[in-house]
Amino acid sequence: MDVKKLFSLEGRRGFITGGAQGIGECLANAFSELGADVAIVDVNQDKAKAAAEKIAGKTKGKVIAYGCDVTSPESVDKMLAAYISDFGRLDYAINNAGICAMDGALEITPKTFESVIDVNLNGVFYTARAAAKQMVAQGGGGSIISTASMSAHIINQPQTIAAYCASKAGVVSLTKGLAVELSKYHIRVNCVSPGYIQTELVASLKDMLGIWLGKMPEGSRLGFPEDLIGAYVFLASDASAWATGSDVVVDGGLYNPLKTAETKKGRPCGRPFAFTVKP
């Protein structure tokens, strides 16, 4: 067995939504370094173009930017048509675009709630479906990878992000459903559930960083986008040929329902703690 070939992305072609910054940009750079052709897809086309030019200048690979609103099926179809014109075929699709709102459930407006669901869940469906249609049409299968979150498995505290948690839980279930439907076409559908990743947005929430770190297992740390590269490369390569419907949690050990040890703050790890009501 040629293990290097098993994990190789050489010659693979695909797109990454939300690719202009954060996790998406990191993945675009990594995939290009590993020999893949990369389309950076983002609602901010100028930012996507800047990221594409920077990565292409570094890796000398084929990296092209496309503007796209993932909440619009028409915009997604237009983007994919332009992509196929430039790249010819689609081997992988990473549905990574996402947003978060920290409005409490009692205060969040219907518009804000709907926008979170629209980008994080509907947008994943629209881009995954478009990718699947292309993969079926061209034959030969492919790999569809979506970015879910550990928030699909836990309810984050102290921030109030019920809408976000619901949207990401939907991504995990959507992934499993699509995996079953698309298996007969040899299309694998998986997702990655990152923990707290220090993107520019997360790093700006300085008051939260210490609290989140306090919930981590002793000796662990908050993550960086680079900590996720291995999971996405595995799922995009032939190394994951027998993996579909999987949700790969990469969170530094924060989500672990089997833990019995307590965190630094004395709360059980991975279990809901009970409130005692005095008589």
Residues belonging to the active site: 149, 164, 168
Tell me how far apart the alpha carbons of residues 163 and 126 are, in angstroms, rounded to a whole number.
19
Burial call 22-50: b when 16+ CB within 10 Å, e when fewer = bbbbbbbbbbbbbebbbbbbbbeeebbbb
DSSP string covering 151-175, please? GGTS--SSS--HHHHHHHHHHHHHH
Give the span between the Cα atoms of 163 and 104, in whole angstroms.
9
Tokens standing for residue 269: 């790890």
Among 142, 138, 111, 144, residue whose Cα is nearest residue 17: 144
| CA distance to 150, 217, 223, per residue, from 261 (Å) | 20, 9, 21
Torsion, Cα 98 102 107 112, to 10 degrees, reads: -20
Is the peptide bond preceding residue 272 cis, with omega within 30 degrees of 0? no
Please name every residue paired with 38 in a beta bridge, in sequence order, or none if there are none. Answer: 14, 63
Q: How many whole angstroms separate alpha carbon 135 and alpha carbon 264?
A: 48
